[in-house]
Amino acid sequence: MGKTAIRITSSDQPPNINKNQSNSSLK
């Protein structure tokens, strides 16, 4: 679920935000 959400955000938003979201998911 988390992976799909990150993929959608990366498509909608810049990679910068995508990196921040992936970090939050890891924590």
Structure token pair of residue 8: 């959608």
The DSSP line for 1-27 is -HHHHHHHHHHHS-HHHHHHHHHHHH-
pLDDT at 4: 61
- The whole-model pTM stands at 0.19
pLDDT at 9: 59
How far apart (Å, rounded) are the C-alpha atoms in residues 1 and 26? 13
Handedness of CA 4, 23, 12, 16 (dihedral sign): negative
Per-residue pLDDT tens digits for 1-27: 566 656 665 555 555 655 666 566 655
pLDDT at 15: 58
How far apart (Å, rounded) are the C-alpha atoms in residues 16 and 10? 9
